[in-house]
């Protein structure tokens, strides 16, 4: 029986909030377990000048995960806590996705200086994001707006939006804002001296693969850790993750792949809808499938999106 467990995480406020969710879930099941915390600064946290909207041959693979994964393989930590959407499709040899917490809201929010959501943005508005998926969808939905690189943690992004007159809005994940304690249901959102309009984009934009999911990664050679983590894994979320990660694998994608996906389960069947954007401004390719087995559903959608 494991008596002490060391959790590894990025040092951002959101990462720490997700790690606290993990710690609380573990403590509820294993009250005698001693839980320690180790924080890391990843390359993605350091390289704030890196433009993630410009895809490179290496993409964003491991940008926010590599330091934690190295610590797992060196056994400086027992498990790594990630936002699942940051995990590359192919993990380093020796590591596995062992468990997931229950999925939070998976949609995006437009945090804007203007009311009315995406339709309320003035012509020629500037919107900030560091996500290729979000950027391609924004331009597809509103060809008249300008999308520009926008890096930093949630608080930094909100502060920059308030300070910079040149930008009209940014796009953030609803799950992250909620986990940080921001109230968005009213359609307005306060941060420091600013008040912004917050509009859901769930009906207009497809979320990222794994968006809203806290992922727990461990070493394959440590089945005792996997066994412990599976006590807090949320099975419906796990099934959805299996499907979405299989889609990512078949598309040979990392977290910079401009693909969006919606997955739901009903009556023992899985339903998946996905959209893949090209490098230019042409219309995206759509795919949809349903079935009982996550990987089979993902394989059918991937084929429709052009995967070999």
What's the domain range around 118?
108-200
Confidence of residue 52 (pLDDT cuts 50, 70, 90): low
* Residues 98 and 119 placed together within one structural domain of the fold: no
Q: 3-state class of 64 per DSSP?
A: coil
pLDDT at 62: 64
- With a pLDDT cut of 90, the percent of the chain lying above it is 81
Q: What is the pLDDT of residues 227-255, one digit of tens each?
A: 999 999 999 999 999 999 999 999 987 66
84 and 132 part of one domain: no
The domain boundary, picked from 181, 200, 219, lies at 200
pLDDT reported for residue 278? 81
Q: Please compute the mean of the pLDDT values over residues 158-173 and round it to a whole number.
A: 95
Q: From the candidates 45, 86, 168, 254, which is the catalytic residue?
A: 86
pLDDT value of position 54: 53
Query: What integer best gives the mean pLDDT of the chain?
Result: 91
Q: How confident is the model at residue 308 (pLDDT cuts 50, 70, 90)?
A: confident
Strands of the 259-266 sheet, one edge to the other? 259-266, 269-276, 285-291
Q: What is the pLDDT of residue 256?
A: 74
pLDDT at 145: 96
Do 90 and 11 lie in one domain? The reply is yes
pLDDT per residue as tens digits for the range 269-278: 999 999 999 8
Do residue 99 and residue 112 come from a single domain? Answer: no
Domain end marker among 167, 200, 233:
200
86 is catalytic: yes
What is the structure's pLDDT at 57?
A: 44
Instruction: Specify whether 233 is located in the same domain as 280.
Output: yes
Tell me the whole-structure pTM to 2 decimals: 0.90
Read off the pLDDT band of 59 (50, 70, 90): very low
Q: Is residue 58 very low, low, confident or very high in pLDDT (cuts 50, 70, 90)?
A: very low
Rg of the chain taking only CA atoms, in angstroms: 19
DSSP characters for 72-98? Answer: HHTTS-SEEEEEGGGS-SSPPTTEEEE
pLDDT per residue as tens digits for the range 65-99: 889 999 999 999 999 999 998 888 788 999 999 99
Comparing CA positions, the residue from 247, 256, 241 lying closest to residue 298 is 247
Instruction: Choose the final residue of a domain: 156, 176, 200.
Output: 200
Residue 280 confidence (pLDDT) above 70: no
CA pair distance 67, 62, nearest whole angstrom: 8
Number of domains in the chain: 2
Interatomic CA distance for residues 252 and 229, integer angstroms:
28
Model confidence pLDDT, tens digit, residues 121-141: 999 999 999 899 999 999 999
Domain harbouring 45, CATH code: 3.40.190.10
């Amino acid at each position: 029986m494991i008596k002490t467990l060391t959790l590894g995480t990025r040092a951002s406020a959101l990462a720490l909030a997700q790690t606290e969710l993990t710690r609380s879930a573990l403590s509820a099941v294993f009250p005698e377990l001693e839980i320690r915390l180790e924080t890391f600064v990843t390359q993605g946290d350091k390289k704030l000048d890196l433009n993630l909207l410009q895809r490179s041959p290496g993409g964003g693979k491991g940008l926010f995960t590599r330091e934690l994964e190295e610590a797992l393989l060196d056994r400086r930590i027992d498990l790594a806590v990630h936002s699942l959407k940051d995990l590359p499709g192919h993990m380093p040899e020796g590591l596995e996705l062992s468990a997931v917490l229950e999925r939070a809201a998976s949609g995006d929010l437009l945090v804007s200086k203007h009311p009315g959501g995406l339709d309320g943005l003035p012509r020629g508005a500037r919107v900030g994001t560091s996500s290729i998926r979000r950027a391609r969808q924004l331009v597809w939905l509103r060809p008249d707006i300008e999308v520009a690189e926008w890096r930093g943690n949630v608080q930094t992004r909100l502060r920059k939006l308030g300070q910079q007159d040149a930008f009209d809005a940014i796009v953030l994940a609803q799950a992250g804002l909620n986990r940080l304690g921001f109230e968005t249901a009213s359609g307005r959102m306060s941060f420091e001296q600013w008040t912004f309009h917050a509009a859901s984009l769930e009906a207009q934009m497809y979320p990222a693969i794994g968006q809203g999911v806290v992922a727990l990664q461990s070493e394959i050679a440590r089945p005792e850790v996997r066994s412990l983590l599976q006590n807090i894994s949320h099975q419906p979320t796990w099934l959805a993750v299996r499907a979405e990660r299989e889609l990512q694998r078949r598309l040979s994608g990392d977290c910079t792949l401009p693909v969006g996906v919606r997955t739901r389960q009903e009556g023992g069947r899985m339903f998946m809808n996905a959209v893949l954007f090209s490098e230019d401004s042409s219309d995206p390719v759509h795919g949809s499938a349903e079935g009982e087995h996550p990987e089979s559903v993902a394989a059918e959608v991937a084929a429709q999106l052009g995967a070999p």
